[in-house]
Amino acid sequence: MKRRGRSSRHPSHELVAVVTGAAGGLGSALCAALRDDGYRVIGADLAGADRELDVRDPDACRVLATEVRPDLWVNNAGILAAGSALTQLDAEIRRCVEVNLLGVIHGSRAATDVMVERGSGHILNIASLASWVAVPGETVYAATKHAVRAFSVGLAAELRGTGVRVKILCPDGIWTPMLHDRLSDPAAAMSFTGTRLLSADEVAAAAMDLLGSRKVLASVPPNRGLQTRLLGIAPGFSLKAGPLFEQVGKRNQRKLRKRPPPT
């Protein structure tokens, strides 16, 4: 049976994948799913992974890509910077932009240096449903995810004809330590507006399906993806509905405080 995520272009070749932000949460689940699918996976993170990597360092990304020559590079590293854009610390905003956006750009550029030369490869960029809508309390975070989506679509167009494909995954909130740590933070309420939080394994499975498909972009779950896209094209309505969504998120935060933390 054909494995979901594997490329059919080199069936006899051991495929190599790099996953950034691999030390826990979704990154760990992505590494496990890719290994189950037959990839040799190099998990990269600041600590706690196969390789130490700061995605804010473009030269470090190039060194890793040149060394392992990946068939797949997953830009998963990200942080949630919650709080008003008017009062967040300059250093917090800078770090959010550098990790969430520049990290994706650096990783993608490093990977394409290798992949274009070879004539094949995949880049998977983890965005968010926040890449479609206004997210008060997470304005800077959402801005980075809007930019990740725009960069990824533009890069896909620039790589047309090279054999290198770009995929974008936009998940809803995921029950990982990153969100668990925000259960008492009202500024992060918009991350909890869904009827449920996704599991990391569920999102990793969606990533594998996306890699094995002809799609460029997928939302998880699809119905929430449609909802956020519609809100994105009606910003006036989105702004008016914001307080209602915020109250839903705060209510869900209170409920989730009784839930055991994610492992």
The domain total for the chain is 1
| Cβ(164)–Cβ(112) below 8 Å | yes
Q: Where are the beta strands (DSSP E) in the chain?
A: 16-20, 40-45, 51-52, 72-75, 121-126, 164-171, 217-220
Look at residues 245, 197, 238 and name the one whose alpha carbon lies nearest to residue 220: 197
C-alpha span between 123 and 112 (Å, rounded): 8
CATH number at 224 reads 3.40.50.720
* pLDDT reading at 226 higher than 90: no
Could you tell me the residue range of the domain that residue 130 belongs to? 16-256
Express as a percent the part of the chain with pLDDT over 70.
95
Would you say residue 262 lies in a domain? no
* pLDDT reading at 253 higher than 60: yes
The verdict on pTM exceeding 0.85 is: yes
List, for residues 71-128, the tens digit of each pLDDT value. 999 999 999 989 999 999 999 999 999 999 999 999 999 999 999 999 999 999 999 9
Would you say residue 63 lies in a domain? yes
170: tokens are 């936009």
Would you say residue 190 lies in a domain? yes
- pLDDT of the residue at 160: 97
Would you say residue 220 lies in a domain? yes
- pLDDT of the residue at 54: 98
Would you say residue 9 lies in a domain? no
Kindly list the catalytic residues. Answer: 141
Query: What number of other Cβ atoms are within 10 A of residue 89's Cβ?
Result: 10
Angle at 13 between CA 11 and CA 17, to 5 degrees: 105
Would you say residue 245 lies in a domain? yes
Most confident of 65-79, 128-142, 216-230: 65-79
- pLDDT of the residue at 231: 79
C-alpha span between 98 and 104 (Å, rounded): 9
Would you say residue 28 lies in a domain? yes
- pLDDT of the residue at 2: 38
